[in-house]
Every structure is written in C-alpha cells, then in structure tokens.
A and B are shown apart, each in its own frame.
Chain A
Amino acid sequence: MENKKGILGYLLNNRHRSRTISYTMVAAAYILLEILLKTGNLSNLFTGLLVPATCYLVAAIGLNLNVGVSGELNLGQAGFMAVGAFSGVCVSGVLAGTVPPVLRLILAIIIGMLLTAFVGFLIGIPVLKLQGDYLAIVTLAFGQIVMNLIMNLYVAFDSTGIKFSFVESKFTLGEGGKYLINGPMGATGTERIANFTAGTILVIFALVVVYNLIYSRSGRAIMAARDNRIAAESIGINIAKTKMMAFVISAALAGAAGALYGLNYSTMVASKFDYNTSILILVYVVLGGLGNFNGTLIATVILFLLPQLLRGLQDYRMLIYAVVLILIMLITNNEFLRTKAASLRKKKA
C-alpha cells in the first residue's frame, strides 16, 4: 500500500483492482436484475435460473481457489455440494415452523458449510498425500462415494428427534413425523426458502473470503507451494497445512453453495451431484482462467446461461455447447493468435 491516496486510490491500486472489479460486477448485476425483477421484465425461465447461477458461482469460486490458486485438480466439487445441500435441507426441515425462513436459511447455509468443511478436512487428509492426476482421480472417487452414500441415506424426523438409517428405511415415525432424506428419492417436500438476495450475499461472501485469503501471508504461501513445492518447503512453508487450508475453504464454499441450491428446489436427488456436475464447474473455472476470479464470474454466468440462450435450437443446444467449448479451447491455445495478442499487449504498454 505504498501509494495509498484515500479510499479510491486504495480500491484502484494494482493489488486491489481485480477485487474492486469483482465486487462492482456482482453489485451491478444484482441491481440490474433486481430492477428487472421488480418491473416484471424478467421471464419466468430466467427468474428460476438466478439462484442456481449464484450457487454455481460460489462453487466455482471455491474450486478456483483449489485448482487455480492451490494448483490441485479437484474432480469432486459436486460431492461437497451434495453434502452441503442435504445437510442444509435437513437443518431447514428440522427447524421448520419454529424459526423464521430468513434465519433458517442462514442457519442452514452455515451448518451446511461447516459440515462440508469438516468432510473436506477428512477427505483432504488422504487426498493431499497424492499428487497430480492421481490426486484428481481420488477426488473423483470421493465425489462418487459421497453421492452414493447420500443416495442410500435415510433421515427422518418426528417429535422424538432425528433418525438416521443406512441402506434400508425402517423407521416407525410418530405423529407429524416426516422423511427429510429418503434414500434414492432424495429430499422431497422441501420448503423453498432460498432467494436471489441471499445468493448474491453468498457470492460476495465467497469473494471476500477468497480475496482476503490470496492477498494474505497464507495465500502467498499457498501459491508458493503451487509454484515450487520444494523451494516453498525450504523456506519453512508447511505444504500440508497450506494445501489443506485451500482444500477445506474450497469445500466449505461448495457446501454453502450446495445448501442454498438444495433449499431452492422442493425436491432434490443426490444423483444431481454426480461427476458431470463437478466437471461442469471445472469447465467454468478453466475457461474463466485459473486463479482469475473475475474470469470465473464471467465464464460461469456465460456458460451457465448459454444452454438456456440456445433453447431456441432445441435438441441442438448441447451439441452447440460442446462445439463452443472445444472451439474456445482451440482458439485460446492457438500459437498464432497467442503471439498476436502478446504483441498487441506490448504495443499498448
């Protein structure tokens, strides 16, 4: 903060520019969408997409922390979302009727986040012992395991308390009892308490957490461990600890996103969170640019909306989505275009 000139100078100084841009983008998008919502100019289709979009944004920001900043390929982000979603749904189901919706939503997200962070910590212990592609396949395996376990989980709730069961459901429920998670049927009859404002606040929260982390001492340690493990270790950085920190925060953000996502639908099945969802989020992160959170925001919104915008093309939309994906990768990695872009940038400077 050498050239700090008031608050504007602080916000626009090089170190904080990307942070300022992120917050501005989110705030502007929120205000614009709220105006459109209030004046009734937003179609039902898009209104329904707002909350899921914020959920994917939060999950993608978390994943970018893990893949971009910490440099570990994670193919199981959806598994963490599943943990958050189903714990959030349970919290909300148990508290229904006694706690007002807003507080219930906050509690569900916080508990979902904490529980997922704990699960992330447990999974992180074995996962972070591995490296490279082996680490990636193990996160994929964990994602599948979590999804399969939740698919066989039965949670019910009645006046006597919460009941868990595994694989087979054999509860005798008292008066007013109901299933919160019903094995392969998932969570049904959830009260839809998620809303766009909560989603936006969560996105801002995720950005604050991530930016404060990467501009801190710990964040620099994480990046040092990514760039050169041995050199980082030699100057006294605890690799296991820094990697674990990024992994757990990434998982926690995915859990919070999952909790919000789960409370946005009246029914939710665990198979929604299979490896395809993990890969979808990874695509957002890679196309946005590794370690670039503004890129993540833009890429997530565009790629999330793209299939919807192509809806007019009906059956062809996913085909076109696939072609766009391949073309973006081919164009951004084209040697000729790259050298051109580099020379243009040089001229500007």
Chain B
Amino acid sequence: MHSPAPLSDPFGLSDSALFYIDGSFSQNCKGSACPKPAMRRNAPRRPLQGALYRYEKHESGEPKPAMRFLSNLVTGLGLGSVYAIIALGYTMVYGIAKMLNFAHGDVIMVGAYVAFFAFTRFGMPMPAGVLLAVVCCTVLGVVVERLAYKPLRQASSLSVLITAIGVSYFLQNAAQLLWSASPKMFPPIISTGVLKIGGLSIAYLTLLTIATCIIVMICLTLFINRTKTGSAMRACSEDKDAARLMGINVNQIISLTFAIGSGLAAIAAVLLCANYPTVTPTLGSMPGIKAFTAAVFGGIGSIPGALLGGLLLGIIEILSKAYISTQLSDVIVFGVLIVILLVKPTGLLGKKLSEKV
C-alpha cells in the first residue's frame, strides 16, 4: 500500500488519507526508518471530498460500535456498487466474447479523464458530463474491439489476452502523453452533505452510487431478458454457431457488448472518481483487477453474479480496512476469493444460472 509513488493508485491514496482521519497515522509510525513522512508530503492535504470515510470525522468522539458497523456496511455497499458496475463490463464481455478484457480498467481511466475535463474545463453540468463520458467510452470500446480484438476471433485465448494487455499499455501511455502523469483533482459531482437517519449518517454521494448501481442493474436485466437484442445476446453467449444459424449477426452482438460494457465503465469512472477524487493514467488498473476478481467471485459470465460479487467484495474490503488492517485489506479480499473458488470452483452463481451473458 505504501508504494514510493503513492499517486499510482487511488486506493493507495485513500489508505494514506485514512491515516490522518482515524489517528492511526502516528501509532503506525514508530520504527526509526519510517517511510511515512515522505507520504505525508505527497498525500493530498485537502479534506477528503470522498464520502467513503466521512463517518470517521464525527464531531462528538467515536460513534457507537453498532452505528460504526452500519456505517461501514453502507460505505462498503457504495464501493461495492462501483465494483459491481465495472464487473458487469468484464462479465458481459467474457460471457459473449469468451475473453478476459484486461483493457477494461483503462477504459474506466479514459472515462474519468473525459468527465474531469467536461466538468472542469468546459464547465458542463453533471448529467451532460456523464453523458459525454459514456459516449466517448462507448466509441472507444467499439473502436478497440474493431481494430484489436475482431481480427483475433479465431485466435487462441492467450493471443487475445496479450492483445488486451497491449491495448491496456497503449491507453495508459497515451493518457500519460496527452494529460501528463500528474494527478488531477476530480471536482465533487453532488453536494457533499450527509443524510442523517437516527444516529447513522450516509453521504448523498454513497446513496447516489448505490442508486445508480441498482438502476443500471434493473435496466440491464430488463434489456437482456425482455428485448430481442437481449435474447440475441443470450443466444450468442450460449452457442455462437447456433446463433449464427438463427440469423443473428454475431459480430454486431459482440460489438454491442463491448459498447455496453464500456459505457458502464464510464458511469463507474464518474462514481469512482467522485468517491476517490484523484485522476491519474493508472487509475483504472487496481479497481479493474478488483472488479475482475468480483466478476469471478460471483461466477464470471453471470450478471447477477457480477452484482453479488461486486457488493460482497466492496463490503469485505471496507470492513477489513475498518476492523482488521488497512495494509492487509487486499490480502483479505483476495484470500476470500480463493476460499470461495475452492468451495465453489465456478464462483457463487457460476453454474446454477442458465442465463449467462
């Protein structure tokens, strides 16, 4: 977590920020060769816009344990919603194109930059900026699919994997050239206030994140199950050749899948950056890996699985950060993944579900 370049991933940053808030910063810093002073300089000193740790700043001392737990749970749901939206992109592409799209995390990064410039440089209102990011990412996803993945339809899955890694490198380095590696501060997208229910206070941003996730899930489920295109998608995921015989344009369906996945990545990007307001060219890689983990967790190829996996992963991550150890939260997250896969080798909802997309 304490990489020498703390700006490399948003979660690393949020960790260091947590040190200031809950006071464990000084406790953790006893050794003679303490690395943290360097981090202290690099870490953002401004107050966290991110709502995910807002509860820590309670004015009147420590909140009650039960409230603290609930608050952590809601925070975890917020983070999990972001993971779930990203995981949907992974799982849909895997279900239909049978490929691990390693470049998905970098589409998130592009979406974050587009939204950032839309909000700051062009002063667009929130919905317009989000829409612009969605459009840009959708176009990017389709173009990448056409240029890099489509010629490899018949190739081995490892070749496609390496190509996806190449695309990921390309996007990261292109972003670095275009927008420089220095981190940019994402503006707040909605009011930073909190909703108080009893003793529990929930940031509006967390509510927005969870609500967005629910809406996205409902729309996607309806689309997959109720429309003609949706059933074509399901057909493709089950048997491409049979789908082709039924007159389905498989190439078009795959393009559409990439378009939807990338559009969702843009939405996830805005939510992610609203919660962790630092935009860098490598912003997408860690959430990308975590969301990929979430997709596998829930059973890759399954849409409800992606939602379940994402939410669980977010909750586990926040709870282990709050109660066990900030530094070891990744160890716990990945450890749980391994345990789950050993018990259910195809993920939580992997095999039972027939409607794989």
Contacts and interface: CB of A to CB of B under 8 A. Distances in A.
A137 B159 contact: no
Interface stretch (B160-168, B195-203, B241-249, B264-272): B160-168
29 contacts: A126-B342, A134-B346, A137-B293, A140-B289, A148-B330, A148-B331, A151-B327, A169-B31, A170-B30, A170-B31, A182-B31, A182-B35, A183-B35, A184-B35, A275-B289, A283-B162, A283-B165, A290-B158, A316-B177, A318-B169, A319-B170, A321-B169, A322-B167, A322-B169, A322-B173, A325-B162, A325-B166, A333-B155, A333-B159
B148 interface: yes
B30 A169 contact: yes
Interface in B305-357: 325, 327-328, 330-331, 334-335, 337-338, 341-342, 345-347
Nearest to A127: B338
Nearest to B326: A167
A152 to B, nearest CB: 5
B335 A134 contact: no
Contacts of A126: 338, 342
B162 A287 contact: yes
Q: Which of B159, B163, B174, B334 has the most CB of A within 10 A?
A: B334
B114 to A, nearest CB: 19
A82 to B, nearest CB: 14
Nearest to A287: B162
Nearest to B292: A137
B227 interface: no
Nearest to B27: A168
B176 A315 contact: yes
B221 interface: no
Interface residues of A, number: 57
Contacts of A142: 334, 338
Interface in A160-200: 167-171, 179, 182-185, 188
Nearest to B99: A133
Contacts of A2: none
Q: Which of A133, A142, A148, A329 has the most CB of B within 10 A?
A: A329
B13 interface: no
Contacts of B335: 141, 145
Given A151-B1, A329-B162, 20 more contacts: A137-B292, A137-B293, A137-B341, A138-B338, A138-B341, A140-B289, A141-B335, A141-B338, A144-B334, A148-B328, A168-B30, A171-B31, A185-B35, A282-B162, A286-B159, A286-B162, A319-B177, A325-B163, A326-B167, A333-B154
A133 B30 contact: no
Contacts of B66: none
A130 interface: yes
Shortest 7 CB-CB contacts between residues of A and residues of B: A184-B2, A325-B166, A322-B170, A322-B169, A141-B334, A169-B31, A333-B155
Interface string A117-139: 00000000010011101101110
Contacts of A335: 154
B331 A149 contact: yes
Contacts of B193: none
B252 interface: no
Contacts of B3: 184, 269, 271
B123 interface: no
A73 interface: yes
B40 to A, nearest CB: 14
A144 B330 contact: yes
B4 interface: yes
B91 to A, nearest CB: 12
Contacts, number: 144
B173 A329 contact: no
A286 B158 contact: yes
Interface in A306-349: 315-316, 318-319, 321-323, 325-326, 329-330, 332-335
A333 B151 contact: yes
B331 A183 contact: no
Contacts of B331: 144-145, 148-149
A248 B87 CA distance: 32
B2 A183 contact: yes
B327 A167 contact: yes
A330 B160 CA distance: 9
Given A168-B30, A183-B35, A151 B2 contact: yes
Contacts of B1: 148, 151, 184
A279 interface: yes
B28 interface: yes
A141 B293 contact: yes
Given A151-B327, A333-B152, A179 B170 contact: no
Contacts of A325: 162-163, 165-166, 169
Given A140-B289, A185-B33, A322-B167, A167 B328 contact: yes
A133 B158 CA distance: 11
Contacts of B347: 134
Nearest to A184: B2
A326 B2 contact: no
A333 B292 CA distance: 26
A124 B191 CA distance: 49
Contacts of A316: 177
A154 interface: yes
Contacts of B328: 148-149, 152, 167
A15 to B, nearest CB: 26
B134 interface: no
B327 A152 contact: yes
A148 B300 contact: no
B7 interface: no
A148 B335 CA distance: 12
Nearest to B342: A126
A330 B148 contact: yes
Contact of A141 (B35, B158, B170, B337): B337
A143 to B, nearest CB: 9
B334 A145 contact: yes
Contact of A322 (B166, B289, B325): B166
A312 to B, nearest CB: 16
B28 A168 contact: yes
